[in-house]
Amino acid sequence: MLALAALACGAQALAAAADRNQPTTVDADSLRYDDLKQTSIFTGNVVLTKGSLILRADRLELREDAEGYQFGVATANGGKLVNVRQRREGTDEYVEGVAERVEYDGRGELIHFISKAVVKRLACEQMVDEVRGQRVTYNQRTDTYTATGGPQAPTPNQRVRTIIQPRGQTAAGTPAAGCGAPASGKAAQ
């Protein structure tokens, strides 16, 4: 989320349907939990997994409000980026996103990739399209995104950049075949 436990629990358009019913597992070097504030802070080599969703970060803070909506913030240290990856429902596609900071708003079903943000859609592990900006926001309800440029955009001119591959082509410019299918379209014998 391309993305936090909250993302894992609330994912709709981005998530594979089966992911919603999967348990959330968080591995980290340490955890600090506050029951009164309903917050969990995971630090050190954080890996969150829920079905096909995988989030990697240095720090992950999760909280739940009184209505049960979940919110989260994942960050990375030392020039690294938070990484989010999840399979799109009913396809061989994945959405993959990286940024210095990733925020999830469970009420609005929004994922914010902030600072050096790059979000890609992959088919058969080949890039189909990509958007770069200082901030990329993915709306899970509408399956849409917005992007803004700025000083922390990962582009030379600090503007938004989008790359869209021609239909049926991979990022390398070769015709796309179905995942695992021969490029000729004929069954392997």
Q: What is the pLDDT of residue 142?
A: 79
Q: What is the pLDDT of residue 185?
A: 39
Domains of the chain and CATH, by start: 5-164 (2.60.450.10)
Residues (pLDDT < 70) of the chain are: 1-21, 168-189
In the DSSP assignment, the letter for residue 169 is: B
Give one DSSP letter per residue of 93-126, joined into a string: EEEEEEESEEEEETTTTEEEEEEEEEEEEEETTE
Q: What is the pLDDT of residue 19?
A: 66
Q: What is the pLDDT of residue 172?
A: 55
Q: What is the pLDDT of residue 51?
A: 80
Q: What is the pLDDT of residue 189?
A: 34
Instruction: Using CB atoms within 10 Å of the CB of residue 117, give its burial: 0 to 12 exposed, 13 to 18 middle, 19+ buried.
Output: buried
| Separation of alpha carbons 123 and 95, rounded Å | 9
Q: What is the pLDDT of residue 183?
A: 43
Give buried/exposed letters for 28-42 (b at 16+ CB in 10 A, else e).
beeeeeeeeeeebbb
